[in-house]
Chain A
Amino acid sequence: MDPAEKEYFNAVLIVVIVVGIILLYFVITAIRYQRRSLRLHKEKIQAEIDTLENERKRIASDLHDELGPLLSAVKLQINNLETTETNDMQLIEKSSRHIDVIIKKLREISNDLMPNTLLRKGLKKAIEEFISNSQEDYKLPVKFICEQELQLDQNREINLYRIVQEVVHNTVKHAKASMLIIKISIQDNRLFLMTADNGVGFDYFLKIRDNMGLGLRNLQSRTEVMGGEFTCISEPGKGVAYTIEIPV
C-alpha cells in the first residue's frame, strides 16, 4: 500500500469510526429515551390508579361511615314519633322502608367502590365475597380456586381484585358463558391469576387492532403496573382465557 492509499484508508477508517460512534450514541440515546418513556408511562398509570383507588376509598368510607349512620338515625327518630292515626302510622312505616332501601343501596355502592373485606381480610376473602354476591345478581356460576394463603401488599391486592371484578363483569356482559373458573396460585415467587370461561369468545388480534375496549385495557394496565405479564387466549366459539403472571 503506497503512502497516498494508506492515508486515504486511514481517513476512511476515521470517518467510519466517527460515524459509528455517532450512530452508537444515537442508538443508546434512543434506547435510554425509550426506557425512560416506558418508565414514565408506567409511573403515570400507577399515579392514575392510585388517585382512582384513593378517591374510591374516600367516597366508600364517606358513604359507609357518614351517610349510613345519619340515615339510620333518621329512621330511629321517625320511629320515635307517637301517633294513633292510622295514616300517620302507615306513613312512618313507609318512610322507614324507604330508608332501608336507601341504606341497602348505599351498602352496594360503597362495597363496589372499595370492599371493606378487601382492606380488612385480604384478597382471597374479598374475591370469595364478591363471587358469592355477584352470583346472586348475575346468575353466572363462578368457581374460585385458591388453595394457598395470599399475603400481598395492599396495592397488589387491590389491582388483582379489580382484575377479577373486570373479568367477571366482562364475562357476564359479553361472553354468554355458563361457567367461569378463576384460579390463583403461587409458584416460585410468581403469582398466577388464571381465568377461563366457556362463552362465545372473540378474535383477540382483531380486537386489539380495531378497538381494544376499556375493560381489556384496564386488565393490561393493572398487570403492567405490577410488573407482570398479561396473556389472553381466545377464539370465536372457544371461550376466553386470561393469564396474569406477576412477581411476588
Chain B
Amino acid sequence: MEMSGTIKVVIADDHEIFRDGLRLMLQKQPEINLLAEAEDGKELIELIKHLQPDVVITDIKMPRMDGVAAAKHIAEHYPTIGIIALSMFDEEDLIIDMLEAGATGYLLKNADKHEMVDAIKSVYNNDSYYCQHTSISWHNW
C-alpha cells in the first residue's frame, strides 16, 4: 500500500468516551497523526478550515450538525479530504445517505482495530472502504 508520510486525521463523535477510545487506538498507529477531535459536525467543519486533514472519521448522528450535512459540506469545499462514516449499527439508509453525501469509507463503531486502520489507509489512498461486518450489499456503489 502506498504511504506518503503521516496521515493527518480528524475525528467527530458526540460521545466523549468513544472519542477517548478511538484516540488511544489511533495514537498507537505510527502512520496516523490524530490532529483533533470534534463533538459535532459544526465543530468538525471549523477544525477542518484550520487543520486541513487528509482523512476525517465522522459519526452520522450528532447534535447541531449531523454527519451527513458535514460530509456534504466537506465533499463540496474540500474534495481532497477523505471521509469515513462511523455508524453504531449497519443501518442501510443512514449509510447510503453518507455515501451520497461524499463519504468513501464506512465503519461500524465496533469494528476491529485493524479494520479502522485499513479504512483510514484506503480512504487516504483514494480507495473506498466498507466495513466487513455490514450486511449491506455494495454492488451499486
| Contacts from A to B (Cβ < 8 Å) | 64-65, 68-77, 79-80, 96, 99-100, 103, 107, 110-111, 116-117, 120-121, 125, 129
Contacts and interface: CB of A to CB of B under 8 A. Distances in A.
B18 A69 contact: yes
Instruction: Please report whether the interface of chain A is mostly helix, strand, loop or mixed according to DSSP.
Output: helix
Interface string B16-59: 01101110110010000000000000000000000000000000
Given A72-B18, A74-B21, A120-B93, 16 more contacts: A68-B89, A69-B15, A69-B18, A72-B109, A73-B15, A73-B21, A79-B25, A80-B21, A96-B112, A100-B110, A103-B88, A107-B88, A107-B89, A110-B89, A116-B94, A117-B91
Contacts of B112: 79, 96
B21 A64 contact: no
Given A64-B88, A75-B110, A117 B17 contact: no
A117 B93 contact: yes
B65 to A, nearest CB: 16
A2 to B, nearest CB: 91
Contacts of A74: 21
Nearest to B19: A73
B93 A69 contact: no
16 contacts: A64-B89, A65-B61, A69-B13, A69-B18, A70-B15, A71-B110, A72-B109, A73-B20, A76-B18, A76-B22, A76-B25, A76-B113, A77-B20, A80-B21, A80-B24, A100-B133
B92 interface: yes
B21 A77 contact: yes
A73 B18 CA distance: 4
Nearest to A116: B91
Interface in B79-102: 88-89, 91-94
B92 A72 contact: no
Contacts of B15: 69-70, 73
Given A75-B110, A79-B113, A120-B94, A69 B88 contact: yes
B58 to A, nearest CB: 14
B126 to A, nearest CB: 26
